[in-house]
Structure 1
């Protein structure tokens, strides 16, 4: 299992627009092997003394933090999917101009990382 995690600053009034983008992206990612996509909207994010979710994305007044992750079978699938998705015509038609100006968030402040599984359990 390979997990890609994301922190995204989103204007508070763009929650539904963000959801729409996430749903469109899921349709593409699923076609390239993604097994699960989870999008969460800030509900209880505390300010930290040294660092926190807000500082990580330089959160501005009127914005919320979205914490999301995507589950892939393995890193190779995720890496291959990135190449395929960037070439997929839907990426050019579903999300507005390539400069990201139509997106309901500031992609320059998004934090992205890939993670190998260390521990996974559930009740």
Structure 2
């Protein structure tokens, strides 16, 4: 079964195109280093909940939208190898600086997940 890294983050609505450019570049690099799939999705139907929701998880502000992303790997070991190569890739150095990111990285939620069901 595959392994997935998942991310939820707030992006200012006026920065969505800048985020898209960064995501396209990053996705190509992740795939070059072995990721099986790379997805970046912008919120379309993500209403605040009463107890929990995507907007609440990132403390979404009125001028922001939620981005939901995931990267698919063969296994956790494969993920660790790929991510090590990605983090060492000089093409990502500029993007890894939190001051140059088009979103507040402190409010990003992320984690690694073992696949439970794969159809």
Q: What TM-score do you get using the length of structure 2 for normalisation?
A: 0.92
Q: Could you tell me how far apart the structure 2 residues matched to 1:46 and 1:120 are?
A: 27
- Who is 2:88 aligned against? 87
- Who is 2:99 aligned against? 101
1:55-94 to structure 2, matched below 5 A, reads: 55-93=56-94
1:32-57 deviations in whole A, cap 9, x for unaligned?
A: 21011111111111211111111111
- Who is 1:116 aligned against? 114
Greater Cα offset, 99-108 or 18-27: 99-108
Question: What RMSD in Å do the two structures reach over aligned CA positions?
Answer: 1.2
Is the contact made by 1:5 and 1:70 (CA closer than 8 Å) also made in structure 2? yes
Q: 4+ residue stretches of structure 1 with deviation over 4 A?
A: none
Q: Could you tell me how far apart the structure 2 residues matched to 1:69 and 1:99 are?
A: 21
Deviation (angstroms), 1:81: 1.7
Q: Could you tell me how far apart the structure 1 residues matched to 2:72 and 2:80 are?
A: 12
Q: Mind listing any 5+ residue stretches in structure 2 that lack a counterpart?
A: none
Deviation (angstroms), 1:90: 1.0
Paired positions, count: 118
Q: Secondary structure at the match of 1:33?
A: coil
